[in-house]
Amino acid sequence: RRRLIRDLGAASGLLLRPRPATATATAMALLCRLASRGRSRTKLIAALGCLASRQKHTLPDLPYDYGALEPHINAEIMQLHHSKHHATYVNNLNVAEEKYKEALAKGDVTAQVSLQPALKFNGGGHINHTIFWTNLSANGGGEPQGELMEAIKRDFGSFGKFKEKLTAVSVGVQGSGWGWLGFSQDQGRLQVTACYNQDPLQGTTGLIPLLGIDVWEHAYYLQYKNVRPDYLKAVWNVINWENVSARYTACKK
Amino acid sequence: MALLCRLASRGRSRTKLIAALGCLASRQKHTLPDLPYDYGALEPHINAEIMQLHHSKHHATYVNNLNVAEEKYKEALAKGDVTAQVSLQPALKFNGGGHINHTIFWTNLSANGGGEPQGELMEAIKRDFGSFGKFKEKLTAVSVGVQGSGWGWLGFSQDQGRLQVTACYNQDPLQGTTGLIPLLGIDVWEHAYYLQYKNVRPDYLKAVWNVINWENVSARYTACKK
């Protein structure tokens, strides 16, 4: 019994706070082992259900060092952007979801509606930045190949015209927002568009996000000050076309 | 204009000058107002680098782009081209709002600022918010809470005869958007504080209260509540 309580404690400790996927796997494995022992099975199934409903969003690791994208995006920006801005969206998303679960459980529509802005803002911020980190790479730049390149030529005329369009749309965002290359499953074609604030592309427009360019001032100001066009020129040097291509291949099925 | 008036009073070139005056009057452009203090005057609360970029780059760009947008709008208006006019509206609102907002903002700040207002404005704040502290808390919370780019505002509702605190997004100008008369604006676009306060907007808000020019805010209140 003591061992059971100890193992349950360890498992819940792992599960009850924001955690990386590995900790979840460890905790679940622990619980599975415990659940296979006949005696405490019902208690554990209850515990598992309870713990599973508390799974929170977590800040994904950056796939590279903060300084990896220099000189195009400097280390100070990457560190603040990832460890402060994105982290805050994750934390606030978890808080908003917690409150939303309560409102939902009570059937309180007014409360649910009043929570929508926080959900969209922080949820969108988490979605957008999670995509963004994978869209960038120290070995990035140049041009895509294969299917994605063919689609770009077909839908924009040339890679140059696509690049011009996404740049113009991104520079032209009045306020905070993102420029996006997305895929329309309805029309079977690529599209370039902008979203304001942290409005997520798919939830807002239905387009599947392939490549996002963050044009909130925090994404570039420390290095480029008010000259957003210079940031746009630089960011093309770190676009991870492998990732963008993989996203395209996955969504056009 | 004085020169032209003197010239116009001389009979001979009168028609030419009236034409010239009319032409010049239609070309009057918006200009970047001078800052009433040096770029470093608000240190350590808002640093010189921010003030210089904010005034000479950001505000200047709104002024230039407003003039361009107004020029195009005049042409569209002259042609009765409604489609073109509508398509110019975002540029007008964004750059025009940016010019209005920042023009007010520079006067709302002062190196000798901070503390609390006195007289009529203080009485109104106590009446409409309960206390200066509650008003300060409210404007701070509204400003910190802007999701994206925008402004926190203390405004006056002529309809209701009372002060109100609210936020506007992007460069939407307070009066054109809400009808409230702008008294005090707090710019919470990241360019207003990022170089100094990074992502910690609340620290910028704490600091900015030290440079609020209550004389200016009071004067604006007195002028609009008539």
Segment-wise mean pLDDT, segments of 10 residues, chain B, 226 residues:
53 54 61 98 98 98 96 91 92 96 98 97 98 98 98 97 98 95 98 98 98 98 91
pLDDT digit string, tens, across residues B152-184:
999 999 999 999 999 999 999 999 999 999 999
B59 to chain A: closest CA residue? A226
Among A226, A227, A228, A230, pick the best mutation site for testing chain B contact (most B Cβ within 10 A): A226
Mean pLDDT of A175-191: 97
Cβ neighbours of B166 (radius 10 Å):
17
CATH number at B119-224 = 3.55.40.20
In B44-160, which residue ranges form alpha helices assigned H by DSSP? 48-53, 60-79, 82-108, 119-129, 132-144
Mean pLDDT of A111-126: 94
As a whole number of angstroms, the distance between CA B87 and CA B105 comes to 28
pTM over cut 0.90: no
Among B194, B195, B201, pick the best mutation site for testing chain A contact (most A Cβ within 10 A): B194
Q: What is chain B's Cα-based Rg?
A: 20
Which pLDDT belongs to residue A39? Answer: 52
Q: For chain A, give every domain's residue range.
A: 1-53, 146-251
**How far is C-alpha B20 from the chain's CA centre?**
32
Cβ neighbours of A127 (radius 10 Å):
20
- Tell me, what DSSP letter sits at residue B175? H
pLDDT higher than threshold 90 for residue A27: no
Which pLDDT belongs to residue A253? Answer: 74
- Scan residues 70-109 of A and list those with Cβ closer than 8 Å to B: 80, 84-85, 88
- Tell me, what DSSP letter sits at residue B46? S
B58 to chain A: closest CA residue? A226
Q: Is B88 helix (H, G, I), strand (E, B) or coil?
A: helix
Using CB atoms within 10 Å of the CB of residue B68, give its burial: 0 to 12 exposed, 13 to 18 middle, 19+ buried: middle
DSSP string, chain A: -HHHHHHHHHHHHHHSS---HHHHHHHHHHHHHHHTSGGGHHHHHHHHHHHHTT----PPPPSS-TTTTTTTS-HHHHHHIIIIIIHHHHHHHHHHHHHHHHHHHHT-HHHHHHHHHHHHHHHHHHHHHHHHHHHB-TT--S---HHHHHHHHHHHSSHHHHHHHHHHHHHT-SSSEEEEEEEETTTTEEEEEEEETT--HHHHH-PEEEEEEE-SGGGTHHHHTT-HHHHHHHHGGGB-HHHHHHHHHHH--
Q: At residue B179, what is the residue type?
A: G
Which pLDDT belongs to residue B62? Answer: 98
The domain made up of A146-251 is a member of CATH 3.55.40.20: yes
What interface predicted TM-score (ipTM) does this complex get? 0.82
pLDDT digit string, tens, across residues B122-156:
999 999 999 999 999 999 999 999 999 999 999 99
pLDDT digit string, tens, across residues A200-248:
999 999 999 999 999 999 999 999 999 999 999 999 999 999 999 999 9
As a whole number of angstroms, the distance between CA B5 and CA B18 comes to 9
pLDDT band at residue A19 using 50, 70 and 90 as cut-offs: very low
**Residue A228 CA: distances (Å) to CA of A34, A216, B97, B127:** 56, 10, 20, 44
Contact B120, B218 (CB under 8 A): yes
Angle at B213 between CA B192 and CA B186, to 5 degrees: 30
pLDDT digit string, tens, across residues A73-101:
999 999 999 999 999 999 999 999 999 99
Contacts of A226 in chain B (CB under 8 A): 53, 57-58, 61, 191
Which pLDDT belongs to residue A47? Answer: 52
Helix, strand and coil in chain B, % to nearest 5 = 60, 10, 30
B171 to chain A: closest CA residue? A175
Contacts of B148 in chain A (CB under 8 A): 175-177, 196-198, 216
CA distance, residue B189 to nearest chain A CA (Å):
8
pLDDT higher than threshold 80 for residue A35: no
